[in-house]
Structure formats: structure tokens, C-alpha cells
Amino acid sequence: MINLLKTISDNVLLKWLIIPLLLILSWFSLSIAYLTTSDFSSSVISYNHRGETQIPQEQTKIGSTEWSGQFKAKDNYLGIVSIDFAHTQKPIFDQISFMIKEKGANQWHEVNAYDARQFYFLSQFPFGFKVIEDSKDKIYEFKFVSQSGNQQYKSSFDKLNPIVISKYQYPKKLLISDPLFLSTFLYKKIVYSLSIEEYQNVILLFALPFILYMNLISLIELRVIKKKHIDLFLNSSATIFVRKQLKFADNPFVFLWIIFVFVNILSLNQAYDILSMLLLILWIVLILKLKIKHQASFFMAVILISFFPILYILNSESVLKKNSDWIFYFLLFGTIHALIELRFKNEKK
């Protein structure tokens, strides 16, 4: 580590050009990858109809409640409508029917039933239906019917700030076969993603390595931070302890695995839950193959806990949840691993 810092400090080209460019490239690449995969699917483009719809328009009937609304489709291949349900303190036992059709049509395009308990875990729930290929600029009506006769315990929407998001599922063959169409699609997808505050915060998080590096180098050049300060920091007992605990990350496979863990935490795509399972299995394999001690799992949990203030400031609820999930995984693995090591140690005695 000390030799690496000395090499960077002595090489002007490396310090001011190569490393900053690599960090910018990393920031740009991670941001593009994140923005194009963090929606419902990589081939889905979304539009927020905030302020364009009149929902909820509520009608109460005997034994049921209905909400209806409408929106103008922004593109072709309409296939999903996401509605933001009001948060409740506990799951509501209700049956919700969702139906959608083009305005003026005699029959509903599709009618589906849902268990309302799902909305407790995913408030902005995606209601899917058969893709409508020529949907652009057409007005669509939708309706929800709650079967709950209890007016106190029923599903509801945010009446002050309703959110309706339409999603368009493009055929992957079309995207692959037409490069110009693909570039237009990616542009629209990125523009929409940049309008979401949570996505903006995650992109800012990707920029932190570049920002921190440039600030550190500038402070060193301005002699605000002197060489003796750096030597003192690198040789301090805390730094030596951290370096010792992170020794397991010297293995390139472990280092790559850690990068994938952070990518998984920062991704909002539900498909990345599969990646979580694969990474957990791979962690077990690495522990067994490289004989990694249980302290490694605990130290990874501590690192993720230290990120909480940054994630809280950036107001990224989804990333905070995933970060919490991984802290739980590491603490669980570390505890089980420690118990196993203790048992083997006692057996040897």
C-alpha cells in the first residue's frame, strides 16, 4: 500500500491524468449500466404520469370500492401500469381486480385479480397485461375494484400525490436488430431514470471515488496534508488493524466478489435478487476453498454499517434496504462460521 501511494505521488501523469480518467470511466460505466438495468427489466422503458391523471376517483358500492383513472400512452408496446399504493401499518387482506382498456372500447383489454397483501411489500406495484403494440398517443382507462366490505381496512391510494407509471415492454429482437432504434431506446431510458431522485443519488454515490481522490490529491499538493500525516495514518494501529482484517481481499477472486456485492446492493432491479443468492453461495465456496476465517464476514458487515450515514443522506431507501439485507447475511454467516470453528477447535482438544 505504501509503495503504491509513493508510485502515484511520484508520477505526475499517473496522478493527474490516468487515475482520474479511469475513475471517470468507472463512474460513467457504472452509471450507464445502473440506469439501463435498474427498471423493471432491461427492455422496459417507463414514464411517470404525475399530475396527468385524475386518480383516485373513488366509488363505494355494497361490499366493494372502485377507483378509476386514465392516462395517455407515451410510447408503443404498453404492457405494465404501476400504481403507488398508500402505506399501511400491516398487510391488508383484500382481493383487488385490475382492468384496463383503450378509452371508448366496449370490452376491457384484460382483467386480473391480485392479493392485496403483496402491496404491503411493494407499494409501487406493477400490474402487467398483454402488450399493446400500437399504444402510442392513445388514452387508456383503468379500474381497480376492492372486494373488501370493511371501509376501515381496505386498499387505498395516496390521494394528495397519486403516482401512475406506464411501462413499455419492447421486443428484444427489435432492440438487437436495429442499432439506431436501440440507441434511441437507451436515450429515453436514461433520461427517465435521471428524473428519479433515488437514481440520481446512486449515481452520485458512484462518483464518490473520483471526488474523494481529487480532493485528497489536491490537499496533498497544497500541502494541507503533508507526507508525515500520511505516514502517521498508514502506520497507525487502526490502519494496521484494518489492513490485517482486509488481507482476505488480496485474493483477486475475493476482490471481484466484493465488487459484485456492491453492484448488487446498488442495483434496484429485482432480477438481481438471483445474483444475491449466487453471491452467497460463492461466498461459502470461497470460505471453504481459501480457508477464510469468520472474522472476514463480520468485518464486511462493519464496512456496510459504516455506509449507512452516506446512504441515509442520499435518501436511497431501496439501497438502504439491500445494504441492511447484506449486513444480516454477513452477520449470520459470521456467527455460524464462528460456531463451526469453535466446535472443530474443541474437538481437537
* Cβ within 8 Å of residue 221, ≥6 positions away: none
Instruction: Express each pLDDT in 35-85 by its tens digit.
Output: 777 676 778 888 888 766 555 555 555 456 777 888 899 999 999 998 877
Q: Measured between alpha carbons, how far is 249 from 297 in angstroms, rounded to an integer?
A: 12
State whether 67 and 116 are in the same domain.
yes
349 compared with 167, residue with greater pLDDT: 167
For residues 26 and 64, membership in a common domain is answered with no
Domain presence at residue 178 = no
pLDDT confidence of residue 130: 93
Look at residue 326 in the predicted model and tell me its pLDDT: 93
In the prediction, which pLDDT does 225 show?
Answer: 73
- Give the number of residues written for the chain: 349
pLDDT at position 141 over 60? yes
Note the pLDDT of residue 79: 93
CB 94 within 8 A of CB 154: yes
What pLDDT score was predicted for residue 135? 94
205 and 115 in a common domain:
no
Are residues 339 and 211 both part of a single domain? yes
Provide the residue range defining the domain that includes 337: 2-32+199-348
Q: Looking at residues 309-337, what average pLDDT do you find?
A: 85
- Whether the CB-CB separation of 103 and 139 falls below 8 Å is answered with yes
Cα 297 from Cα 283, distance rounded (Å): 9
Q: Is the pLDDT of residue 232 over 70?
A: yes
Do 139 and 206 share a domain, yes or no? no
* Amino acid sitting at position 153: Y
My answer on whether 206 and 338 are in the same domain is yes
Asked whether the predicted pLDDT for residue 341 surpasses 70, the reply is yes
Question: Domain check: are 243 and 155 in the same one?
Answer: no
Same domain membership, residue 231 and residue 115: no
User: In terms of domains, do 319 and 211 share one?
Assistant: yes
Say what the pTM is.
0.65
Distance CA 199, CA 176 (A): 26
What's CA 136's distance to the chain center, in Å? 29
Residue 187 lies in a domain: no
Q: Model confidence at 209, in pLDDT bands (50, 70, 90)?
A: confident
CATH number of the domain that 96 lies in? 2.60.120
The residue type found at 96 is I
H or E element, residue 99: strand 95-102
The least confident of 18-22, 243-247, 249-253, 294-298 is 243-247
Q: Which residue has the higher pLDDT, 108 or 314?
A: 108
Question: Over 80: is that where the pLDDT of 235 sits?
Answer: no
Average of per-residue pLDDT across 159-188 = 83
Q: How high is the mean pLDDT of the chain?
A: 81
**First CA to last CA across the chain, in angstroms?**
39
- Please report the pLDDT score of residue 84 as a whole number: 76
The reply to whether 118 falls in a domain is yes
Instruction: Tell whether 13 and 96 lie within a shared domain.
Output: no
The reply to whether 177 falls in a domain is no
DSSP state of 95: E
Query: CA 200, 205, 211 angle in degrees (round to 5)?
Result: 115
Same-domain pairing of 24 and 101: no
- Give the span between the Cα atoms of 214 and 89, in whole angstroms: 45
Query: Per the domain annotation, does 190 fall within a domain?
Result: no
pLDDT tens per residue, range 279-322: 999 999 999 999 999 999 999 999 999 888 877 776 667 778 88
Number of independent structural domains in the chain: 2
Q: Is the dihedral of CA 165, 166, 169, 174 positive or negative?
A: negative
Q: Give the closest residue to 164 by CA, choosing from 54, 36, 58.
A: 54
Are 27 and 52 in a shared domain? no
pLDDT band for position 108 (cuts 50, 70, 90): very high
Q: What does the block give as the cell for 35?
A: 440506469
Beta strands across the sheet bearing 110-115: 57-61, 64-72, 139-146, 95-102, 110-115
105, burial (CB in 10 Å: exposed 0-12, middle 13-18, buried 19+)? exposed
